Structure 1
């Protein structure tokens, strides 16, 4: 490129120097430049004195030959100053071209009309602007990188600090739980309740931050698994009954009975979203309000909605409530409860699951939040949610009620219509029917007295559970929220109908079983026995391995249809054994055998890590029979087994243990549970002795390993205090926490164990 003749411009240098003030004034005071400066809150005089004048001096230095093009320090200072003002490239272009225009205009005023002068000015400005633009681009890139690095550092900090805070907080909650069991003083109980509730709230906030951090960093994964939406949503609603009751809010629901018993999706995240909807609905509803939960599944899309008649959301807030750290406001007052992350996390979770969240709201009239996500429905697994056949011929009478309370019965009537129950509206309690249903809030004393005096079989629909009918055998209370299983239980109880709703029973002469051979890798003797009983219950063959090495040897020498693999075992842990089995399959072309992780580490993220380690599915401890049954349904061929013979129930020798609760939770017979408890008792005495030795020797690795085993086996028997304390000991040992009093924790653990078997 040929250079223009610069001599005419050099000869005009003195005249241009004299015009400096006029040129700067014209440049900075131009309409476009003023608007840019104002937009970025830059005072024109400040800009002219500290930057514009220096730029002009640099330009004239280039004309004089004293400075090189594009190397002016003031340009770098200007760009650095403007980068913090978020100056755009087009705005920078306007500022530079207006400087050029002001200089050229000055040449016309001075009568310097030579074409060569114009070319020289244009050349210098073009060259300088190219350097300015490159510097601007480099600076902005650097700024973006700094912002990105700062964001990564923030996410790393949030994630690590969340984990660090959880460990001592779990210890606090564990010891508070033990103190609550041991303290009888009502005042101390109240104090401990406050500590516990505050700790749980703090843990919830930490979990929100951790989820948000994982979503932002891309570490979050979705884990679709088979689950029962009817049970999961009903259980989720029950968790919010106490907080709804505290504000006298009625919680109604309709879970469409036509939704298949089993669908495949990420149940944990679905419940998290619905739980957030319910929490917000209660928070922003007025006392005495109503909240309605609805679940539907149409053409592979699951819809879950929560509707309230609360304060609603203003139009200006509707978009930003899904932003991080944003909350809606009630009138002029912001409700500062929680992190402001809930809906942002829910929105991102929905998107990760391929779905969305929809909002309908009207200020002052309430809100409707709806989660819609694609799911896979298993229509082959048909288990009735409500057996209407057992009520054939039963005449139900619904006592007339206050029309203003009709919303309380809308969902209930939809259930009745779906199942074809014969429900007739009656005006008096003496109208002919086999079972009377009445709304307690619409009752008067005379009608209630008549029902009690004549022992009329009735179902009382209560807003909140209380003890008013505890001593009345002919009246069964039914509280909100009402769903299929709760409705059938109440109707059956008052009519004296004994009908098993357990899903494994098939017909009158058989029960559900499975065909296959299972390899179980589990080092804990009590857990081995529990799994044996469960496998025998379903008619399955099995082989038990006590560590990972044994499991790999058994797998190489036999053929299995399913593998249960404990993650923590001696000699070779579950992850190593799984990797060895997968490698063997790959080397030999062996057909893949599904491997299910068994772990007591059920905190958020454990499931994702298990899948990443090569497992096909995840089972947390304590073992839940329905969850293990779902694994069987997923991987094994079903069959019908003969019904088990009834076992005579004997009085439990373990007085401090709620045998009925264990029978319900484990779905085992009492003699089977007694057998398992004896093994657990013997194993615990041995484990506690080993734990004390490890503590005295400060062998943190052994402490963690023994405490982990105690945690899992105690959880299987729903000994939550023992399991939680063992978890605290395990976590403290993993962190080699020298400040933690292991001896005191051991004493409390041993004392709690002894109390269970007095």
Structure 2
């Protein structure tokens, strides 16, 4: 596309966005202009400052200061009048003194100002900065001799001038002052070469500049005229609510206007509770949304359904607001409702990117809660050229189709569903609809002829609008509830209407449309299910044996109670495990289904990433059950090795720091130096225990909380021993006294709501306790609901020395497996293909046998030395892996290598008895599935004596 054409397209898109915005909002605003304002009106000093106060040619305002004012309006029933965009900072202060304005933001405290003005709570932190042009190579940062004699632009009357003079004196450089009246004049002087450097506020957005120095860090405030206590109290009230509900809003506003960030929190004030109480079942909020946007919002059997209504129900129920949905049957009825401001209290589907238009209508606005992206729906045989595009009947002069398919003939439809059906039926080449609309349609289409492409632009942010007749603080109440919702709530709600609507596709349809992927999914699910069933059956068997042993030692009444408790525990465990397994399985199936319809590589990569995350989570569930099973069977033994316990603690701290990424938690580490850190212990077990406890602390502590990790030691039973002590304390949700007594019981979990929200199997703490007791240690817990939890771990260890620790460190080796000839026995085609690819990537040559009999025949058919190692699946047709291994070992009379060739078991069964069965069959090693190539490589190297 050439530049001119691209420019025309961009202008067209801008026009389209404006028209769509006006079309969406016009009905709501029909009579708003006639409404007399019922809100407090405040005159705000709004002086021009790039990045802080900005206004475009159309009068749309933006910047840190503007966003701060709008954020305040979320918690204060106020309308602003902006005054003085062409005025200087000095003039702003004079106007405030003279009563021409009521308030100004961004003021720093000085003794002179404190005599004239009253100051609010802090609304941000600022520095003075000294900047030069980016291409200035003569003035070198930190080399103050290059600063001498430079011409520095200063803002006339600015309090930072004296601070900079003192800073220059301290650093020992001189400069020539050049004064200007505005920040714009200063910036222009720097760019045209009138001055060499400028002193400005850090809140000014820089252009073609680099920072030499920062100085004079201080807070800035809202100021009002001295004695205007009533206004100041209202400002401080709004700021208090922002501090409580909006998290690090100062950082959020700074990064939005100078970088990017996000933050959330929730707390309701007494005033907000009073407002919520006004909306009872007798006086509910009347809520409106478009009924023609399936699956976003639609009506069915007189009920409002869809992603947006479901989302509103969640936040309204959380806030305790009573409401009822208006139920327009058609879009015309929807528009008629919008025109009646007395009928609608809240509209939940306003498409607004800024506050400017809403402000002219005296609406209250929530934060954005969903970003709508467009998708292009086509047939799979689409050749890339759009001759005919579908569109709904609309009145806008410029439509989305005009921009995305310029020059195409338009086929008019009454609904978006009809648009996509027209494409499927070959009447049009493409339709442009919202992403989830496309996804729902494609997933429900059983012809397999349709696909969609997710577009990067345009995007539309949706908010909720509070009518001009209602208290604007409702917007803040709803926003707080939004911030309390899970991050993926919209995505989860959408899944009910998109991913799971695809259940119209039968298994036969799926296999016909996508045979390879469908078979892979079925094999994966079946393997996971079979493995889990085996594990659970064995656990149940062991549990029954334990109960049988107890029955011999106790009276019948006690036995009955224990049997009932065990049965309840098993039922709870099985129920919870079923839920925990279905959760990642739902994600795996859902995102696989989405990936099948994706043409976009980034979107497909995103789906695969989420599938991997869910698979890892599913595998961790299995590993927890396996760990518990090994411990219960008595197969786990304490095998201490010389260890630097300080290094183990260091590694745990680094792991926790990784958990804290994207979290706002205070992590405090307090360590008592050990005179001798060299001990005999199992470092892997110590690390697993501590990471388990710290992971729970991170998981159950809300942002803003604190986790403290203490590590130290005390004397042991004699001079050759020490007791290593760990203490992990958090300010999380805590536990009830009853649950503290059960926390180390197998399968015990507190309450379903918390378990579902925070996830987990309930096996981590029992496993940790068993490991600690195996090492002769103790673990205790002290917790209070809503206050936090403290775990104390004490483990006795024998002292050793540094020399022994050094001897146990593994040597760094460079392994070369190129040329190794592998005979792979694997009956599953997908597993065989995967294993072959991974082994061949390491330079090995792989021959595959499809069953146990074939692997025996291949070994017998070829001479000694043909294969270096055999990797043997266990569960195979004709002859299983154990039988095949025995058959190969029995050839020793005719084949000398039959006794010597290493045979490694590959099996989904990972119990100790499974490993023993492989050894009894003559195998040299046992590797669990899913394959960990690092483990497989080590086993091959060890058995081939490869360095």
TM bucket by the smaller chain? 0.3 to 0.5
The TM-score, its normalising length taken from structure 2, stands at: 0.28
The TM-score, its normalising length taken from structure 1, stands at: 0.33
Choose between structure 1 and 2: higher strand proportion: 2
